[in-house]
Amino acid sequence: MRNVSVENTGLSVLIFWIAAGWAGFCLLPWYGIEDGFFSFAWLLDGYPLDEDYAPAAFLIAQSEKMWLAPLIAPLLAPLFVLRRRKSDPVYSATLILAGGLGFAWLIAQGFGIGIRGFSYEWLNAVFGELGDRQFGMGYGALLVATAFLFLFTQGIAARGAINGDVFVVSAIGGVIIIVATFVFFPIVRMLVAAFVTDGGHYSITVFVSKFFDDRLWGLGCFWGARCGAAWNSLFLAVLVGIITTGLGLVFALVVTRSGFRFKRGLRALTVLPIITPPFVIGLALILLFGLSGSVTVFVSELFGIQPTRWLYGLPGILIAQTLAFTPIAFLVLIGVVEGVSPSMEEAAQTLRANRWQTFKTVSLPLMRPGLANAFLLGFIESMADFGNPLVLGGNFDVLSTEIFFAIVGAQYDQSRAAVLAMVLLFFTLTAFYFQRVWLGKKNYTTVTGKGDAGVHPLMPRRLSFPVFAVAGIWGAFTIIVYGMIVYGSFVELWGVRNTLTFKHYITAFSVGWTEHGLHWSGAAWDSFFTTIQIAAAAAPLTAAVGLITAYLLTRQTFAGKNAFEFGTMLSFAIPGTVIGVSYILAFNVPPIEITGTGIILVVSFIFRNMPVGVRAGIASMSQLDKSLDESSLTLGANSWQTFRKVILPLLRPAILAALVFSFVRAMTAISAVIFLVSAEYDMATSYIIGRVENNDYGLAIAYSTTLIFVMLSVVALLQFIVGRTQIGRRTQFATRT
């Protein structure tokens, strides 16, 4: 590709998408296949003529589903411009019209005609009863829609948008469409529900009465009663954001700017909580500090204090969330702290600043984007966290659990859940806004094309003592918690019969031989394999979408960029419970019918975790000087080549962070998953919850311990595949090109 001229590349891309459109229309089954596309049973079962499996072209040829016929025109149109030059206005106009109209018609027919004929009354009124119906779209429709989208973006690019850069325009178009489909569409469906009364009508008063509910905004905790969930959530999230950012910075400093010997061990220790399934930290805390916990009993016997339930409520959630989210802050900050150029610090020291002054006035301000991002992530994670408040919350209600109760509770109050979700969204977006204001428009670029040689200075002594103290205490605490977890998985019945046993592992993961060969007889295998598959599918996709979005946000300017950024961050600000229910509402009915499949799990993970990829990418990319891209572009590379050959290799830390985070989150997430798992696709976390609910802590902890080790090895494998950071500081000998 590298030697092909830009003009020819453009043509081959165009031909590819035209061909893809026709293949989707004539070859692939148009509608979703109930037994799954990849079983390929449909190939032998009446394809291509059977109505359930037929491609659109065969349907039309049999005079079925005639509303698909108009799609032929926009598929034909681009063929006529193949011989025209790109600069020809007819070229761009044809592609824009064909792509746009084709896509619009596809959407319109999908929403207009559902499983009961026309979906809207007015369509019945205008056209009469349809007498036919259609199910969810399948791979044929998906491919045609994709083809239309990219024909459209090529048309836009040909008109000269973004310097006629097809890759950038297509990437923007692609991200917009998938975010609109899998973030905005379900959320709009959900928020509309905020105004719906019991009778199914729309009403503002319902919204107002639910919004100003005392359970939400009450300030009773100042006089003995309870505060509203909104205040609780806000208070908790601010605390967690500050503490996790501080701890994350501490660890990043220890790892990069100290002579600390056990850096690798510390690094592993900080990664542990992130690969821990939800509930497990909570369970371990209960076993340690609960009313009958080991530490509680020990302390109460030692000092004769009456044991209390102090853990249940704000303190417990705070401890658990701090343990769980500090690693996220660490992962964000390590890239930033490593990325701060030593030249700047050297310059400061040359100017006779001491180490403390250098740190305070140079290093720390340069870490601002990282600090702001870490705080924002901690804040949002805490707001959306569901597992810890559920186990440790006691009577400390927070928004995310309230939303869950509003939806699964006996009241089944969707509109209340939607109102609560709006409040949550308001908080997270406000935090997002303040982060932007604080960062301002300053420049944080320190990795430039210019050579810099140097090693990061050590931390100032004034800083290193408290930093080591905090890191040490935290490390010891983490070791104790995890020691308890491992120990707990071998104990027969915690607190009652403390004999050691392999019973729980055998129940979960036994393997037997039968006449058919290997038999996975353990209770946990089904959910385990599903979880690995889903996580392996979701992680690279998440990283890809996240980094491309980050690239667009930091490197390109285009109209509506702020809205674009807002849109891509939105899914992170929405708690998983809401995502779960909104996905069920939006994707249980045609045109996109994916509930009960593995796809919906993969999709929910991609869009739940994409913002982390975006933030990690932005944080790293804002440190890469634009002159790097510019020189690549000046030397004749197009933007895709620049992205691949220049930016991507420099982004290895961000790629690794995104891959690790999304894989791990896919294996440990719970809040959205609990709504989306189905009989065939049960996930490890929902299985573990079942065990926890059943007081079967042994099995739950044994399963979680296994998952921790699986994730550890996967993280190590990913680190090996993606490779180590190569920013080219003196610690490494040479940079690879």
Partner 1 sequence: MKSIKFAFGISLFAFAAATGSAHADKMTLYCSAQEDWCQLMARSFEEATGIDVNMTRKSSGETFAQIRAESANPKGDVWWGGTGDPHLQAAEEGLTQEYVSPMRDQLHDWAISQAESAGNRTIGIYSGALGYGYNTDLASANNLPEPSCWKDLLKPEYKGHVQMANPNSSGTAYTTLASMVQIFGEDEGFEFMKGLHANINQYTKSGSAPIKAAGRGENTIGIVFMHDAVKQAVSGFPIKVVAPCEGTGYEIGSMSIIDGARNLDEAKKFYDWALSPEAQNLALEVNAFQVPSNKNSETSPSAPDMSQIKLIDYDFAKYGSSDERKRLLQKWDEEVSTLPQ
**Interface size with partner 1, residues (CB under 8 A):** 87
Of the candidates 531, 597, 580, the one whose C-alpha atom is nearest the C-alpha of residue 139 is: 597
Q: How far is CA 275 from CA 59, 431, 479, 659, 715, in A?
A: 48, 26, 14, 13, 9
Helix or strand holding residue 508 (H, E): helix 503-509
Residues 6+ apart with CB under 8 A from 536: 663
Q: What are phi and psi of 436, to 5 degrees?
A: -65, -45
Q: What are phi and psi of 603, to 5 degrees?
A: -60, -45
Task: Choose, by CB under 8 A, the member of 248, 722, 727, 729 that binds partner 1.
Answer: 722
Q: How far is the CB of 503 from partner 1 (least distance, A)?
A: 13
Q: Identify residues 457-496 at the interface with partner 1 (CB under 8 A).
A: 493-496
Q: Which is nearer to partner 1, 53 or 697 (CB)?
A: 697
Q: How far is CA 454 from CA 260, 443, 699, in A?
A: 19, 21, 51
Task: Choose, by CB under 8 A, the member of 85, 309, 519, 724 that binds partner 1.
Answer: 309
Cis omega before residue 591 (within 30°)?
A: yes
Q: Identify residues 408-437 at the interface with partner 1 (CB under 8 A).
A: 408-412
Q: Does 658 bind partner 1 (CB under 8 A)?
A: no
Q: How far is the CB of 411 from partner 1 (least distance, A)?
A: 6
Task: Choose, by CB under 8 A, the member of 107, 161, 291, 429 that binds partner 1.
Answer: 291
Task: Choose, by CB under 8 A, the member of 566, 649, 712, 728 that binds partner 1.
Answer: 649
Binding mask 197-226 for partner 1 (x = CB under 8 A): -----------------xx--x-x--xxxx
Residue 52 and residue 136 in contact, taking contact as beta carbons nearer than 8 Å = no
Burial zone of 307 (CB within 10 Å; 0-12 exposed, 13-18 middle, 19+ buried): middle
- Name the E strands within 38-188: 113-114, 117-118
Q: Which is nearer to partner 1, 382 or 530 (CB)?
A: 530
Task: Choose, by CB under 8 A, the member of 178, 523, 633, 710 that binds partner 1.
Answer: 523
Which range, of 334-342, 390-398, 437-445, 568-576, touches partner 1 by CB under 8 A? 390-398
Q: How far is the CB of 667 from partner 1 (least distance, A)?
A: 13
Task: Choose, by CB under 8 A, the member of 157, 675, 703, 711 that binds partner 1.
Answer: 675
Q: Does 376 bind partner 1 (CB under 8 A)?
A: no
With H, G, I as helix, E, B as strand and everything else as coil, classify residue 310.
coil
Handedness of CA 359, 360, 366, 369 (dihedral sign): positive
What's the CA gap between 291 and 628, in Å, rounded? 59
Q: Does 51 bind partner 1 (CB under 8 A)?
A: no
Which tokens belong to 414?
Answer: 């969707």
What is the chain's alpha carbon radius of gyration, rounded to the nearest angstrom? 28
Q: Does 38 bind partner 1 (CB under 8 A)?
A: yes
Residues 6+ apart with CB under 8 A from 121: none
Residue 626 and residue 647 in contact, taking contact as beta carbons nearer than 8 Å = no
Q: Does 711 bind partner 1 (CB under 8 A)?
A: no
Task: Choose, by CB under 8 A, the member of 69, 188, 680, 732 that binds partner 1.
Answer: 680
Task: Choose, by CB under 8 A, the member of 8, 12, 39, 627 that binds partner 1.
Answer: 39
Q: Which is nearer to partner 1, 103 or 587 (CB)?
A: 587
Q: Does 537 bind partner 1 (CB under 8 A)?
A: yes
Residue 375 and residue 245 in contact, taking contact as beta carbons nearer than 8 Å = yes
Q: Does 231 bind partner 1 (CB under 8 A)?
A: no
Q: How far is the CB of 594 from partner 1 (least distance, A)?
A: 9
Q: Identify residues 124-183 at the interface with partner 1 (CB under 8 A).
A: none
Q: Does 385 bind partner 1 (CB under 8 A)?
A: no
Amino acid, res. 415:
S
Q: How far is the CB of 529 from partner 1 (least distance, A)?
A: 9
Q: How far is the CB of 406 from partner 1 (least distance, A)?
A: 8
Q: Does 581 bind partner 1 (CB under 8 A)?
A: yes
Q: Which is nearer to partner 1, 637 or 722 (CB)?
A: 722
Q: How far is the CB of 32 from partner 1 (least distance, A)?
A: 10
Helix or strand holding residue 519 (H, E): strand 517-519
